[in-house]
Structure 1
């Protein structure tokens, strides 16, 4: 796909945001960014443009999805945090769809946003080639409260152990950050429900994409650890329950998205949310019971295959399926509450809106 973007989604966003504010008197979480052409606004516009190039008409649906995340000054802090996380999750979805649409698919391939399965469920995206149907589901967890706990606790358990081990660790270290395997389990079961009823007249490859932050081990450890990994035969809730999920791609993008939402920098260079070669890599993990996911998809997501990798060959501790994590610098770190985290992420939206009278996005090479 071209590095240039169509500015049509960008200006469409601005018109819709102004129209919404005139009608309701309320601002939108993205209005600052689009009125000032910040990096995240340009990145979202480019992503929507790339997706719309594959399925004409999807642009208006995606823009409306953003507009549906309503914001009111009177909302409680908890509700504002939920809206912010919804925004992060939607940007995550758009980032993944952009990556799927930028794959060099065979001529004649068809694309469908939120295709309806026979059971009525709707995964995120379907690509159909002559011989194969590819189905993608996208998930992004709510991590703000978890980030606060992770910051405050000395000890972290990346995946679930025997209850006695947990009890001993808690007695020894006090606060313990628990694994995030339950949300990942829920993502897998939800994806299975959406994938299971698609026609098997041709081969169907079904992939769950999970967008995470830079602590990638929190997702890789529950998925592939050999004790009870969710994609292994030792899956603690039953590997047969996710037999149609052929693999999971964990994308290291959430921190980029949040940082861009909190930033007011205008460099005229979209791309932080785009999944591309040269960035920090992502991780692919195959379901031991699933069909083989083609290498071109794994590569397009800038991923390495973690299914059979040796522990010593992982690129770094942030990615490896660790058994335990101890934060040795914790005594020097000021404890924070989830409310303080929530306050921090609201900063860009509390500042005075700087609306330019002659808004011209910078030219992109």
Structure 2
């Protein structure tokens, strides 16, 4: 291990020496090829560095995260394991970024805290003198959906068309259907985890969803009124009595477009970022902030730290990838 990892190279080395042999030569692991080639491979080095930074901010967290990565193994080329790894990488990526935000002096952190015995556990709690900030990090299973995008030229990102109309519009093609149910599940999970913390302090509930480059998909699922978006009055998510399902303890959703960088980084084909755990800078494509109607306004330092513009910001309207979509036809060129 060289000194490019700075004064924490010793901890970096310790993490690699514990998990590296397990991943490289233990039960089959999706990252075994990378770890077998040493700790200086960009993906390996920056994965461990992200865990080191988490460990320095919240002792015990970095070790837990890197051990989780090592434990997702044993089933050769199992896609469910690969998607579990993408979820874990998303947690590491987002937690590291949250922990290094310019929090007020005296802020304390807890990983997977519970409001009471046996309670549901959000990903992270940050507590300041006057507020609690709760974060839940999610990433969808997208492998089969990504294949569908490459194979099928017709996509319906939302629910604005009934089945018969979709069939007529798609013709002989097999259309790509919305991926809004995972977004609904993420919101419901976050609501269930945040609600028990309601108390005397002001509580901010923030859901962070890591998606791939097709960021219009979750935007459409959340805010497109004709598509019965989940944060609109016409939401498709309904209780048994027909009333809308709402999320009173979720104040905002942040959409982070990064899954493809993990996939490309692990394949060593990444060109758009310095490495797979680079959160990006002002010249990079932004992430998206979607306020929940009726929710509290998330402080600016969090929005800025997550590099997020509001979904209806004028700067995003020139990019089709950031606008809600009704119907898409892909043409191979």
TM-score (ref. length: structure 1):
0.80
The yes-or-no answer on 1:259 pairing with 2:264 is yes
Q: Which residue of 2 aligns with 1:304?
A: 309
Given that residues 245 and 290 in structure 1 are in contact (C-alpha distance below 8 angstroms), is that contact kept between their aligned partners in structure 2?
yes
User: Residues 320 and 9 of structure 1: is their aligned pair in 2 closer, same or farther, counting only changes over 3 Å?
Assistant: farther
After TM superposition, the structure 1 = structure 2 runs for residues 156-305 of structure 1, keeping only pairs within 5 Å, are 156-163=155-162, 164-170=164-170, 172-227=171-226, 228-238=228-238, 240-263=245-268, 271-278=275-282, 279-305=284-310
Given that residues 15 and 63 in structure 2 are in contact (C-alpha distance below 8 angstroms), is that contact kept between their aligned partners in structure 1?
no
Q: Give the secondary-structure state (helix, strand or coil) at the position aligned to 1:318.
A: helix
Given that residues 131 and 202 in structure 1 are in contact (C-alpha distance below 8 angstroms), is that contact kept between their aligned partners in structure 2?
yes
User: Residues 51 and 284 of structure 1: is their aligned pair in 2 closer, same or farther, counting only changes over 3 Å?
Assistant: same
Given that residues 109 and 127 in structure 2 are in contact (C-alpha distance below 8 angstroms), is that contact kept between their aligned partners in structure 1?
yes
Query: How far did residue 4 of structure 1 move?
Result: 5.0
User: Residues 9 and 87 of structure 1: is their aligned pair in 2 closer, same or farther, counting only changes over 3 Å?
Assistant: farther
Structure 2, unmatched stretches of 5+, are 239-243
Q: Which residue of 1 aligns with 2:84?
A: 86
Q: Which residue of 2 aligns with 1:30?
A: 31
Give CA-to-partner distance per residue, 1:85-104, whole Å, 9 cap, x none. Answer: 11111111100001101100
Query: How far did residue 57 of structure 1 move?
Result: 2.2
Given that residues 149 and 176 in structure 2 are in contact (C-alpha distance below 8 angstroms), is that contact kept between their aligned partners in structure 1?
yes
Given that residues 158 and 221 in structure 1 are in contact (C-alpha distance below 8 angstroms), is that contact kept between their aligned partners in structure 2?
yes
Q: Which residue of 2 aligns with 1:16?
A: 18
Q: Give the secondary-structure state (helix, strand or coil) at the position aligned to 2:321.
A: coil
Query: How far did residue 135 of structure 1 move?
Result: 0.5
Given that residues 154 and 328 in structure 2 are in contact (C-alpha distance below 8 angstroms), is that contact kept between their aligned partners in structure 1?
yes
The yes-or-no answer on 1:321 pairing with 2:324 is yes
User: Residues 255 and 28 of structure 1: is their aligned pair in 2 closer, same or farther, counting only changes over 3 Å?
Assistant: same
The CA RMSD over aligned residues, in Å, is 2.6
Kindly tell me the number of residue pairs found equivalent between the two proteins. Answer: 318
Q: Give the secondary-structure state (helix, strand or coil) at the position aligned to 2:12.
A: helix
Greater mean deviation of Cα atoms: 272-281 or 41-50: 272-281
Distance in 2 (CA, whole Å) between partners of 1:89 and 1:66 is: 10
Query: How far did residue 233 of structure 1 move?
Result: 2.2
Given that residues 155 and 173 in structure 1 are in contact (C-alpha distance below 8 angstroms), is that contact kept between their aligned partners in structure 2?
no
TM-score (ref. length: structure 2):
0.87
Given that residues 114 and 125 in structure 1 are in contact (C-alpha distance below 8 angstroms), is that contact kept between their aligned partners in structure 2?
yes
Distance in 2 (CA, whole Å) between partners of 1:5 and 1:213 is: 34
Given that residues 155 and 175 in structure 1 are in contact (C-alpha distance below 8 angstroms), is that contact kept between their aligned partners in structure 2?
yes
The yes-or-no answer on 1:146 pairing with 2:145 is yes
Query: How far did residue 309 of structure 1 move?
Result: 4.1
Give CA-to-partner distance per residue, 1:176-211, whole Å, 9 cap, x none. Answer: 000100111111111111111113210000111000
Structure 1, unmatched stretches of 5+, are 333-365
